[in-house]
Amino acid sequence: MGGELLGRIDIPKATAATILIVFLGAAVRRRYYSPLSDIPGPFFASFSVIWQLWHIIKCHTEAAMREMATGLTRQLAGKFVRLSHKEVSISDPAAVREVLQSQMDKANWYKVFSMPDSRYENTMSETSYKEMNRRTRNVAAGYSLSNVIKGEPYIDKALGLFQTQLDRRVASGSSIELDKWVNYLAFDVVGESTFSKSFGFLEAGHDIGNSISNQYKLRLYIALIGHFSWAHDYLLANPLIGHFNLQPSMHVFDTSMAAVKKRSESVETRNDMIELWQQQYRNHPDRMDEKEILAAAVANGSADVDIFKMGAGADTVSCILQAFCYYLLRDTESLKLVREEIDNASLSPIPSYEETRELPVLSACIKESYRIHTPVGFNLPRVSPSPDGVTVCGRYFAPGVILSVSPWVIHRQQSVFGSDAESYNAQRWLGDKDRAIQMEKYMIAFGTGYGSCPGRSLAHMEILKTTALLIRDYEWEQVTKGQVWTFETYFTSIPYNWPVKMRRRRKFNA
């Protein structure tokens, strides 16, 4: 009789019903019986990561976070928004100190940054606070300001080629897609600084092997798969992918790997990052291995791996240089002030770091570019520690809860940056030094705490020198005046689609 009853059961339907019941049970428990149930947020966020995935696909997570920060959080909870069944975003500026500057481990989302595969952990993919500090110490010498300054002549070489390419296009009267050219510049500077070898984008004048365009596909992959970090081990982090050369951006990966191999066999070296990392390995083989050197080199060359942790990555620099040019077209008073300052500064043909670092108006314009269009468009997640949990901004969170902070939200807090925080205003950084110091505490474009970018000195030097050169030697206007640029937020938020016409202001007479 049992067999007859079993024969009457529709196995596929029964299986589907069981799965549905389990799913509904989990959804009900997460939505109504979780310690986070009282925190407001989108409906789908109360029991899944569907809301986050949807906005990744829509390409504008940063806009959704800003909307909630000015809507739900002010009307209901004041500072907390539930992004998923286990993640809470905090808009209170105090979260910069209490979350990002704490010793909480990073969320597993970061594991997706292991490149070229899971055997090569880097400072971006590492989630452990203690292990992260060890890895950072190992590579810190390469990113020190003193070492970056030693490599300034090689940055100048790339800038000279960048200017030559711009001049050719100015002479021809053609429109210029600045997003492409600052990307080429940023990649080539990273190559020169890391292992004394440019990637060759500026000289070629195009995207070699579609390496840069492939980064857009990689960004989407990272943004989505980061929520399922276990799957990364079977996809791009699978060593077989690297073995068969199926990685995106193979030109960047191949150049990085070949340079590390060549350097290890070479007697004559330059004191670049690879050399300093190899010195660290030779002196302290118990602290660092060769895989860690290769992981750091590939991370430095790969824009998305490098974007937040290394800071010197191409995406960061490209984003800030574009924001600088784009927003100054819309703030004519600041453009006038910074141009007067630079014209009166008697800069070298390729402006030096020493000359540009003390220009207050230029620095103000750059800081405001960091603030208004932060390269990182995603929340930065940390994990509430075991076994005691943590209290943040007056609320207790149990172990395992993901607490995240959005740079785009923090950088627009009126309590920190003023009532015009939604607008570009470079002059907010001028005049009141005490206020500028307070605002600086909440600038997290380059991270903060143990998550700070080791490469921010290189990035800042490149940005200072490039912006000074552009302001002094060129004028630019959009081909379509007032056209709003385009960008998608796949962790990073790199603009494009705003071609410009450029004109030489003057030839520099050495």
**Helix or strand holding residue 171 (H, E):** helix 152-172
pLDDT tens string, the chain, 510 residues long: the values are: 555 655 567 778 778 888 888 878 888 888 899 999 999 999 999 999 999 999 999 988 898 898 887 765 455 446 999 999 999 999 999 999 999 999 999 999 988 887 666 677 777 888 999 988 888 877 777 778 888 888 899 899 999 999 999 999 999 999 999 999 999 999 888 878 777 778 889 999 998 877 777 777 778 888 898 899 888 878 877 766 655 555 554 555 665 666 666 666 665 566 677 767 777 777 777 777 666 666 666 555 444 333 333 333 677 889 999 999 999 999 999 999 999 999 999 999 999 999 999 999 999 999 999 999 999 888 999 999 999 999 999 999 999 999 999 999 999 999 999 999 999 999 999 989 999 999 999 999 988 998 887 788 889 999 999 999 999 999 999 999 989 999 988 888 889 999 999 999 976 544
Domain contains 3: no
**What stretch of H or E contains 381?**
strand 380-383
Residue 453 labeled ligand binder: yes
Q: Would 36 be classed as within a structural domain?
A: no
Q: Look at residue 360 and tell me if it is in a domain.
A: yes
Domain membership flag for residue 234: yes
Residue 326's nearest CA partner among 191, 167, 103, 494 is 494
Report if residue 21 sits inside a domain: no
Q: Are 103 and 450 in contact (CB under 8 A)?
A: yes
Q: What is the DSSP string of 172-237?
A: HT--B-HHHHHHHHHHHHHHHHHHS---SHHHHTS-GGGHHHHHHHHHHHHHHHGGGHHHHTTTTT
Query: Is residue 257 included in any domain, yes or no?
Result: yes
Print the domain residue range for 438: 95-383+407-504
Distance CA 449, CA 179 (A): 30
> Which residues does residue 89 pair with via DSSP β-bridges, in sequence order?
81, 404
Kind and range of the H or E element at 164? helix 152-172
Q: In 3D, which of 287, 429, 306, 303 has the Cα closest to residue 369? A: 429
Distance CA 276, CA 257 (A): 16
**Whole-structure pTM value:** 0.87
Which region holds residue 472: left if phi is over 0, alpha if psi is between -120 and 50, else beta? alpha
- Specify the length of the chain in residues: 510
CATH code for the domain in which residue 185 is found: 1.10.630.10
Residue at 86 is within a domain: no
Q: Is the dihedral of CA 22, 111, 129, 99 positive or negative?
A: negative
| CA separation, residue 481 to residues 318, 373, 424, 476, 478 (Å) | 21, 20, 18, 11, 5
Residues paired with 392 in a beta bridge: 395
Residue 455: both structure tokens together: 């490469």
User: Given CA atoms 6, 10, 15, 17 in this order, what sign does their dihedral have?
Assistant: negative
94: Cα separation from own chain's centroid: 22
Q: Which of 79, 297, 289 is nearest to 191 (CA)?
A: 297
Within a domain: residue 441? yes
pLDDT at residue 212, as a whole number:
77
Task: Give the pairing of strands 395-397 and 390-392.
Answer: antiparallel
**DSSP-derived 3-state class of residue 318:** helix
Measured between alpha carbons, how far is 102 from 97 in angstroms, rounded to an integer? 7
pLDDT at residue number 305: 39
Note the pLDDT of residue 121: 76
Query: What's the pLDDT score for residue 359?
Result: 98
| Overall domain count for the chain | 1
